[in-house]
Amino acid sequence: MNRMIKKFGKLITASFIIMGVGIVTLPLVIPMYTLFDIDTDWFSVFIFLAGAITCIVGLIRRKSFNRIMLVALLVLVSIMCMPILFGVVAMICYFITGKELGW
């Protein structure tokens, strides 16, 4: 593990672990939903997205990119953050009203 941290850095190594947790929780959707009525697919997608965003931020901090590539990476990170933001807003609305957002 120390060799991996020295090679990739702490942030990118942490993002690999976070993405791994997201990938591991994705196959648990069927047993968790059938046994406990817990829907975990969105949580696993959000966890994976958080890991991917952390990985891109780690790449931006570790390497020096030209301006166009840096702008492209920042736009990618901002687009990837939107579903997480909407998920947090939907969860807050659900906790306040007791109803899911939707039509």
The span from the CA of 21 to the CA of 1, in Å, is: 17
Q: How many domains does the chain have?
A: 1
- Domain containing residue 35: 2-97
Assigned domain for 73 exists: yes
pLDDT of 103? 58
The arithmetic mean of pLDDT across residues 37-65, rounded, is: 85
Summarize pLDDT for 72-83 with one digit per residue, the tens. Answer: 988 999 998 888
Assigned domain for 81 exists: yes
The one-letter code for the residue type at 16 is F
The arithmetic mean of pLDDT across residues 30-58, rounded, is: 85
Mean pLDDT rounded to a whole number for the chain? 85
Contact 42, 28 (CB under 8 A): no
Contact 15, 55 (CB under 8 A): yes
